[in-house]
Amino acid sequence: MKTGSDNLMAKRWPCGHVTGDTVTKHECVEGGSIYVREEHDPLAYSASLRGKHARWSPRLSVSGTGLKSALDRLRSRTRTRGRVPAPAVAPAPAPGPVFENRTHDLTSPTAGLLNAQGFVMAPPSPANALRLFDGQWSSRFPPPWGDLPAGKIPLFEDARISWLNEVAGVKNKTVLELGPLEGGHTYMLESLGASAITSVEASARAYLRCLVTKEVLGLTRARFLLGDFVAYLRASGDSFDIAVASGVLYHMENPAELIALLASHCAGHVLLWTHYYDGDLLAEREDSGSRFGPARAASFGGFDHTLYEFNYNEALNWSGFCGGGEPRSAWMSRSDIIACLAHNGFGHVQIEFDSQDHPNGPAFGLIASRER
């Protein structure tokens, strides 16, 4: 589609624009229909090319030789009245593009970074990129980037990944990482010499933060994929030397399926760090009653187990929410997690980072491999 001024309309048929007292209208012919786009900023023609304050809507539909005369009649009405009258009944949605009337929120956390048009006018810096997600970062960046405006959790210097390297050896290995969050573990895996890292993240905001991390820290052997990792594993035929699933199992609705999928795609070692259900330990916590629903019997791939419904509650309201894709998930007991791994051929298990008093519920880490 083209746009142009009144004196170009005859030369650049079939598109042009007309201007009233307070409204700029752009007309375009597409698929036998005439669309009029209104802009409520009389000085915003150049900005309209970026879709500012604009909406395409159908005014009339014609075809064949009557197309030009219909557009002439439309222009005549517009020049006489200043604008095309709104129809009495709202028209059907236009098949063409629709642009939202949106400007940058000057009260947002990035108000000191972006101008009213959403541009960063300060000199380029890593901090600019991180500030696009002010208030959403969980991780603290490693030295010498520790002063960047991010979170507080040291996921870029995580002892769990160091432990994995001690047990399995990361150098020259291919790694599958589920739920990279902000790329902290990805950074460590590349620093430890992994030959290739495939990281799958379903949260759009977390995925974009991973891309910021990749650019700021200069990662070259990591590939971030946006989408559900269960769907990815169901469809993919890829195999990896190591799988890292830290902080994701307890966000699943069917955690036994994820364990089975990991076993089918990993030839070497699986690192799991997860919360688990323990009724006695959780009974000591004041918030357990509102977070956990009833237990239910479940079975997947011939493995019978028990699932405990977990509700995210108010955590869903945080812009940096890093849970699952549904408002609830299902937790397994510690013994069922270990038994499920064995059921899928990963019967050799080493356990570390056992924390019964973790603020979010009992948790432990394990590295599982096939029986030798």
With helix as H, strand as E and coil as C, how does 176-210 read? EEECCCCCHHHHHHHHCCCCEEEEEECCHHHHHHH
Q: Integer distance in angstroms from the first to the last C-alpha of the chain?
A: 65
The model carries a pTM of 0.69
Give the model's pLDDT for residue 239: 97
Directed axis angle between helix 255-265 and helix 334-343, to 10°? Answer: 40
Whether the CA torsion 7, 13, 15, 19 is positive or negative: it is positive
**Short-list 301, 300, 321, 303, CA closest to 312:** 321
d(CA 355, CA 364): 6
Give the model's pLDDT for residue 125: 94
Tally Cβ neighbours within 10 Å of residue 347. Answer: 15
Kindly indicate the confidence band of residue 291, based on its pLDDT and cuts at 50, 70 and 90: confident
Give the model's pLDDT for residue 349: 97
- pLDDT one-digit tens code per residue, 104-116: 444 455 557 888 8
Q: What are the phi and psi torsion angles at 246 (to 5°)?
A: -100, 120
Please enumerate in sequence order all residues whose Cβ is within 8 A of that of 193, keeping only pairs 6 or more positions apart, or say none.
Answer: 170, 171, 172
d(CA 48, CA 15): 15
Give the chain's mean pLDDT: 78
Average pLDDT over residues 285-297: 79
Longest dimension (CA), the chain: 86
**Per mean pLDDT, which range of 64-78, 87-101, 167-181, 233-247 is the poorest?**
87-101
Average pLDDT over residues 265-282: 95
Q: Could you give the 3-state DSSP secondary structure of residue 59? A: strand
**Which percentage of the chain shows pLDDT scores above 90?**
56
Average pLDDT over residues 208-220: 98
d(CA 183, CA 212): 9
Average pLDDT over residues 81-91: 49
How far is C-alpha 241 from the geometric centre of its chain's CA atoms? Answer: 26
Kindly indicate the confidence band of residue 1, based on its pLDDT and cuts at 50, 70 and 90: very low
d(CA 335, CA 47): 60
**C-beta of residue 247 within 8 angstroms of C-beta of residue 179:** yes
Give the model's pLDDT for residue 154: 95
CB burial class (10 A; 0-12, 13-18, 19+) of residue 260? buried
57, amino acid identity: S
Pick the CATH number of 155-369 from 1.25.40.10, 2.60.40.420, 3.90.110.10, 3.40.50.150: 3.40.50.150
d(CA 131, CA 149): 7
Kindly indicate the confidence band of residue 250, based on its pLDDT and cuts at 50, 70 and 90: very high
DSSP state of 49: T
**C-beta of residue 328 within 8 angstroms of C-beta of residue 307:** no
Range list for CATH 3.40.50.150 in the chain: 155-369
Q: Could you give the 3-state DSSP secondary structure of residue 11? A: coil
Give the model's pLDDT for residue 289: 60
Q: Say if residue 172's pLDDT is above 80.
A: yes
Q: Which residues in 270-305 are b (16+ Cβ under 10 Å) and which e? A: bbbbbbbbbeeebeeeeeeeebbeeeeebebeebeb
Beta strands in the chain (DSSP E): 16-19, 24-30, 33-39, 54-61, 174-178, 196-201, 222-226, 240-246, 266-275, 292-300, 303-311, 328-331, 348-355, 363-369
Q: Which residues in 48-63 are b (16+ Cβ under 10 Å) and which e? A: beebbbbbbbbbeebe
Q: Say if residue 141's pLDDT is above 50.
A: yes
DSSP state of 97: -
Give the model's pLDDT for residue 2: 40
- pLDDT one-digit tens code per residue, 6-64: 333 333 333 433 333 444 444 444 444 444 444 444 333 333 333 433 444 444 444 45
Q: Say if residue 361's pLDDT is above 60.
A: yes
How far is C-alpha 115 from the geometric centre of its chain's CA atoms? Answer: 24
